[in-house]
Structure 1
Amino acid sequence: MGRYTDAQFSQLRVLDPRVWPSRILIRYLAALLFLVFLIANFTFWDPPFDLPELHSPLGRDTDHHPIRKLINDARAAHHEKLSRRSHNINDAAQRYRAARGRHPPPGFDRWFQAALDCDAVIVEDYFDRIYKDLTPWWALDPATIKSRAHSWPWVVRVRDGNATGDGNTEGRVPWLQLWTDLVQDFAEHLPEVDMPINYMDEPRLLVPFQKVAELVDQEQRERVMPSPELVTTQFEGLAKVDAAKPDKYDPTWSGPDKQYWNLAVKACSPDSPAHAVKAMADYRAPAQFPPNYHPPYAYQGYVANWTAAMDPCEQPHLRGLHGSFVEPISLSSTDEFIPLFGGSKLPINNEILIPGAMYLTDDEFYSGGDSPGPKWSKKKTGVVWRGDASGGRARPQTWHHLHRHRLIDMLNATSVEAAEQGQGRTMTFELPDTSLYDSPHTVQRTLAAWIRDFADVGFVRMCPPGECDFIFEHYSEIESKPMQEQYEYKFLPDADGNSFSARFRGFLRSTSLPLKATIYAEWHDDRLTPWLHFVPLDNTFRDLYPALEFFSGSRAGDRAARFIAEHGQRWSEKVLRHEDMRLYVWRLLLEWARVCDQNRHSLGYVGDLK
């Protein structure tokens, strides 16, 4: 038998038909892997956002605009967080322990399998809100927690694998039923648990900063991760509290005679700018904005730290610029820790967040309907807003301090024209600081002319009849506009109502670009990235004109707006689905049931360790 060199042998293998099938299979597998990589890359690792060097028709260069940097930074932060996605129970459990310092709760494996079954994006960071909300409760007596949760007037109860809503809802919004239906979707996998809910628009718990800090310190001292052989998966249940039928615990409530700002700042850190700043005593003067304002959460005038931009403790001027602090529609607040779940809260409130009930309804006013709107190139280059004049109680001496009134006034050509022509300062807003912002329309005094063609905004309802007749001297009610018609515009500003704006999820799911200003935290904040999924606005709205000018004034700006709108829509269909809200509350209630259990320090999931 002859001998061959390595080169000759390799050539013989290529010519030998016996090796062809394996070589073809390898090639097909390689092609398939490359295709999978391309799909994943398109889905999660989009090509870098890069604006060409285009000069806008307004005569400014957008290539070095600060918004450009914020978009690129947001994209990098989003991808870095997404790189820690868990694809199997072992990784998920390990990441849980690393982040939380405990074993996952019993039932974590079934929860994670449900997440896999619905193709959910599971990143441990996306559940940070749960642990921010629950941390102080680990330092409180579980028997007391269970008793107070059980006796609240409106409770979603889980017993024997079924969820029921308990409470009189006659004449009230259908929140209890909506939340009960959500929990029923997964109740068969839950231990016995009570979820007491806040039936007001506004949050109700404002525990002083020092008390919360003490509870957080105690939780950290008592946190343990026992050896797997010492861990149990058996909850004690709620039979004892059901049999006891405890009376409702009613703490001391602060009512309308108190100024909410003075209550709220007690929950601010002593090191924060707002701590000890008193509420305004006289609101008759025009709304006041901080001079030469360069907040640490901003980059060249635009919001860079969304968490800080939402926090009233960092912005004492909001006492006179947001209706929640000027005069909320209703006020019933306590400084005690009582178990209460709700759809939104200030960063300093102590409710436990769940997805807002309006996000669970099919009402097109909130959901946006079945169609996300036309593609970007078919949209009108303009801004649209319709809504109630809510967000605070308007009075003759205070209406001009309310945030929604400021937004509508800023997009009203008549008001803007008066400000441009020097007819005195408007009551609600100031023109942009051109030493900070690139606002060509402000410099050229063409804001009013631009707004007249660009904006279609207005209130559809001012207040109950006879309650605010004085306001019609300043505003007129206009016809409502269905969400599908609003989606025909490129830009959708979003501002708080009496609490959070329940249209935000609908805006994100549309093909338009949401611009959001808020002081209210929600369940989904950790899974959305400002400047990649929506445009964050300062609560003063000082950046409103410059942002809209950037996005509408050049080809590069339009590309940037479309980039964010499309990424926000695509991402919302991955992480803001009904399935995602279901998974969030499922995991939250597993954690809550553990907090309420006498054996909470030994309860856990350790299946991956055995």
Structure 2
Amino acid sequence: MGRVVSYRSIAIILLACVLGVTLRNVIFAPPDNNILSSLHLDSPTSPHPPIFHDYFPEDDPLNSVDDTVDAGLVQEPVPLGDHYYGDNGMLVVNPNAHTASGGRLGKKLARASKTLGEAVAEYKRRYHRPPPIHFEKWWDYVVTHNVQLPDEYDEIYHDLEPFWGIDPLDFQESRERLEAQENTIVIAKTDQSSSVEVADYNLPPDGTERLLSRIDNVLRLFQDIEDLLPPFRAVFSPHDNPSMLSDHGVKSKALEAAAARSTLKRNELPPPQRSGWLSACHPSSPAWQNPIDLDAPPERPSHKTFISDHRLSMDPCLNPYLLRSHGQFLSHNKGPDPQSTLVPRFSLCSTVVHHDIRPAVPYGWVEDLPESDNPPWEERLDERLLWRGTNTGIFHGPGTRWRQGHRDHLIQFVNELAGTADVLRSPPNDSEPVGEPIPLRKAHLNPALMDIQFAGKAGSCAPDLCDELDKLYDWRKMLTFQEAGRYKYVFDIDGHGWSGRFKRLITSNSLVFKNTIYPEWFMDRVAPWVHYVPIQMDLSDLYDTFTFFRGGLEGEGAHEDLAKKIATAGREWSQTYWRREDLTAYTFRLFLEYARVSSLDRDAMTYREDSDS
């Protein structure tokens, strides 16, 4: 969990975060020189977050300094101890440490595989098995289309590794049972010469066309590679969110078997727990040790924390407050029963506690924005934080906890006028104490800094609740892209599932503040604080983080130059690492891996270095 840090240091944390990531050498610089050459991204397999690796030498005297002095009485700067990396993805930073400019971070691009042989060797090093069959064809695609970071596909490993511990026949039987269920779409390649297409579906008659259209977007990614893939059969959910809740004991046993190069039959798996969401968590996890009471008012955070590892911060086992803060969890109260085995279903998004397999989703993908919709930073004159959207994320009905849903909470949080909010202010320099947070009246703070409202009309609601929502919220019209282009800062938040807007937003010249619990396919190749600003789901860091970049009510303490740098880096990252070719490369590799793990003869579906077939 995040640890205590004196208030004199916390405002500098954000400066350290941003400086630490913007003043280093990039490890994945694209071929052309651009803003990315001043940034970096750390290895996703590293135990520490990307921002502060190698920050302190082991003998740095700052590592042993007492940090208990009352910040309000400090006469001279007192150095803090080392950065603390919480195991829940939260970070406390030493403000007096220098930023490192080299170390292992700057070597990542240099050590990225440049030949097929190097890629095979790196694959074996990471995953302790040979690559899948046709790996050489995937490599040819990567080289031909200049796909960057060719070794960074750990998200596929996260999704498929547990299935390696399941007996192939049981895997196939689970998939066949799944095909017979409602709300499923089966895509398949029946033989080596056939196309990838919808082979079967079981959908409600009134929604068939709409739901099939979602999978059409995914199918288009196969057009350039379907001749290169082996046969496979995969079951997709047509809906926005995941539903394959993992049981911790079942998944752990499967992973143990996979690591031992063995498999388990269904009757060899432990019986699943019937503890709802907690079933997915280790018995010693914070979610079990500090269970959340969904009916009690949320506790006010006792300490300021900021996200360092975005994936870890999305884990409700490590951050149990998420169970009361997001519609994905609130919609099912204490949670459904977990699956008794691992069920191989593809979903358009997933959480850390589900085992739905995630494809690269092209929904909302754009190559670029027209200049009329995307003015440069200096021409964006509105410095409020912008968001418009509908009230998705949870069904609004009698007995549901819709007021706690993430979108409803956002609207209430940034539009409340009563009371005060404690906001940290940046000191004039790194050596001066910042003191305690300043209580600011929300009646002044929110109208000046926030332009966040629901738009259109109430939806996702029972009729009586729709009427209540119409009266409760200040519904606005949707903004045109040109109108949205006036804003320097934009907010991105989940709906019923992952946000389909993120690609467009990060391709713009705005700085994106991202609020999500869904790790996406690109997590291995994007960096918070380098390409976007991560925000916790309870919004406890929103005011501190936003005013760090934008400044206070009068703009005091702003770091707009850093905001512009991250916005520019995010746009260039999008155009370099989120091209359609990158989506295709991910899809290619994912389905090579899936075809192997779903085969009754996995060994026959393995790449042989002495053969290019």
Q: Is the 8 A contact 2:291 2:320 kept in 1?
A: no
1:180-219 equivalences under 5 Å are 180-219=219-258
Q: Which residue of 2 aligns with 1:271?
A: 284
Are 2:145 and 1:118 equivalent residues in the alignment? yes
Q: Report the CA distance between 1:205 and its aligned residue.
A: 0.8
Q: Distance in 2 between matches of 1:494 and 1:72?
A: 29
Deviation at 1:443, TM superposition (A): 2.1
State the distance in 2 between where 1:68 and 1:485 align: 38
Q: Is the 8 A contact 1:382 1:490 kept in 2?
A: yes
Give 1:548's aligned amino acid. F
Q: 1:75 to 1:556 in 2, by over 3 A?
A: farther
Query: Deviation of residue 530 (structure 1)?
Result: 0.6
- Aligned counterparts of 1:74 and 1:353: Cα–Cα separation in 2: 35
Alignment of 1:448-597 (within 5 A): 448-460=443-455, 461-463=457-459, 464=461, 465-553=463-551, 557-597=559-599
Q: Which amino acid letter does the alignment assign opposite residue 338 of structure 1?
A: V
Alignment check: 8 A CA contact 2:423 2:543 kept:
no
Match of 2:329 in 1: 325
Q: Deviations over 1:143-194 (max 9, x none)?
A: 3323443562411111324111133462433112222222233110001011
2:495 aligned counterpart, secondary structure: coil
Q: 2:121 aligns with which of 79, 94, 98?
A: 94
Shift of 1:275: 2.3
- The change in CA–CA distance for 1:481 and 1:441 in structure 2 (over 3 A counts) is farther
In structure 1, distance between residues paired with 2:472 and 2:510: 29
Aligned-partner Cα distance in 1 for 2:481–2:550: 21
Residue of structure 1 in register with 2:160 after alignment: 134
| Kept in 1: contact 2:422–2:440 (CA 8 A) | no
**Residue aligned with 2:210, SS:** coil
Instruction: Name the aligned partner's letter for residue 345 of structure 1.
Output: S
Quote the Cα distance in structure 2 between the aligned partners of 1:274 and 1:261. 15
8 Å contact from structure 1 (residues 205, 333) kept in 2: no
Which stretches in structure 1 are left out of the alignment for 5+ residues? 1-36, 50-60, 225-253, 255-259, 294-299, 421-430
Amino acid in the other structure paired with 1:339: P
Contact kept, 8 Å, 1:71 with 1:532, in 2: the verdict is no
Gap change, CA 1:540 and 1:319, over 3 Å in 2: same
Contact residue 425 and residue 438 of structure 2 kept, 8 A:
no
Give the corresponding residue for 2:422. 432
Aligned position for 2:419: 419
Deviates more, 1:335-344 or 1:481-490: 481-490
Q: Structure 1: how far apart are the matches of 2:225 and 2:386?
A: 39
C-alpha separation in 2, matches of 1:560 and 1:116: 34
For the 8 Å contact 2:292–2:320, the answer to whether it is kept is no
Q: State the 1:533 CA deviation.
A: 0.7
Contact 1:261 1:319 in 2 (8 A): no
Q: 1:346 to 1:186 in 2, by over 3 A?
A: same
Contact kept? 1:202, 1:499, Cα under 8 Å:
yes
Q: Which moves more between the two structures, 488-497 or 208-217?
A: 488-497
d(CA) in 2 for partners of 1:495, 1:71: 33
Secondary structure of 2:189 counterpart: strand
* Alpha carbons of structure 1 residues 277 and 134: separation in structure 2 relative to 1, 3 Å: same
Instruction: Give, in whole Å, the separation in 2 of the partners of 1:194 and 1:111.
Output: 19
* In 1, Cα distance between equivalents of 2:546 and 2:531: 16
Amino acid across the alignment from 2:588? W
Q: Describe the shift of the 1:582–1:219 C-alpha distance in structure 2 as closer, same or farther (beyond 3 A).
A: same
Paired position in structure 2 for 1:308: 312
Q: Distance in 1 between matches of 2:358 and 2:253?
A: 21
Measured against aligned partners, the alpha-carbon deviations of 1:285-316 in whole angstroms (never above 9, x if no partner) come to 6x4135414xxxxxx62111212211111122
- State the 1:513 CA deviation: 0.8
Specify the code of the residue in structure 2 equivalent to 1:265: L
Match of 2:352 among 332, 347, 359: 347
Q: Which moves more between the two structures, 146-155 or 585-594? A: 146-155
1:191-214 CA-to-partner distances (Å, cap 9, x unmatched) read: 101121112222111121011111
User: Following the alignment from structure 2 to structure 1, what is the Cα–Cα distance between the partners of residues 594 and 574?
Assistant: 26
Quick one: distance in 2 between partners of 1:76 and 1:307? 23
Q: Which has the higher helix share?
A: 1
What do the CA deviations read for 1:40-84 (whole angstroms, capped 9, x no partner)? 5646532799xxxxxxxxxxx9xx996999996899886454343
1:97-176 pair list within 5 angstroms: 97-124=124-151, 126-149=152-175, 152=179, 153-159=184-190, 160-168=193-201, 170-173=208-211, 174-176=213-215
* In 2, Cα distance between equivalents of 1:351 and 1:392: 20
Distance 1:39 1:518, change over 3 A: closer
Structure 2 residue identity aligned to 1:527 = R
Cα shift readout 1:512-557 (whole Å, capped 9, x = no counterpart)? 1111121112111111111001101111101101111110115861
Deviation per CA, 1:205-224: give whole Å up to 9, x if none.
11210111111111111179
- The residue that corresponds to 2:89 in the other structure is none
Cα contact 1:106–1:603 (8 A) shared by 2: yes
For 1:401, the equivalent position in structure 2 comes to 404
Q: Distance in 2 between matches of 1:376 and 1:76?
A: 33
TM-score normalised by structure 2 residue count: 0.73
Q: List runs of 5+ in structure 2 lacking aligned partners.
A: 1-28, 41-50, 52-76, 81-91, 264-271, 428-432
Query: What percentage of aligned pairs have identical amino acids?
Result: 25
Match for residue 12 of structure 2?
A: none
Task: Judge conservation of contact 2:277–2:336 (CA < 8 Å) in 1.
Answer: no
SS of residue matched to 1:392: coil
**Which residue does 2:16 correspond to in 1?**
none
Distance 2:488 2:606 in 1: 48
Q: Is contact 1:71–1:531 with CA below 8 Å preserved after alignment?
A: no
User: Which residue does 1:376 correspond to in 2?
Assistant: 377
Larger radius of gyration, structure 1 or 2? 1
The alignment partner of 1:358 has SS state of: coil
Q: CA deviation at 1:595?
A: 1.0
SS at match of 1:494: strand
CA distance in 1, matches of 2:489, 2:419: 24
Preserved CA contact (<8 Å) 1:74 1:531: no
Q: Given the superposition, is the C-alpha separation of residues 144 and 394 from structure 1 closer, same or farther in structure 2, using an over 3 Å criterion?
A: same
C-alpha distance in 1, partners of 2:274/2:394? 13
After superposition, the Cα gap between the structure-2 partners of 1:575 and 1:134, relative to the gap in structure 1 and judged at 3 Å, is same
Residues 348, 359 of structure 2: 8 Å contact kept? yes
- Output one character per residue of 1:565-610: Cα deviation in whole Å (capped at 9) or x when no partner: 1111101111111111111111011111111223313543233799
Query: Which of 302, 326, 347 lines up with 1:292 in the alignment?
Result: 302
Partners of 1:161 and 1:191 within 8 A in 2: no
Amino acid at match of 1:155: V
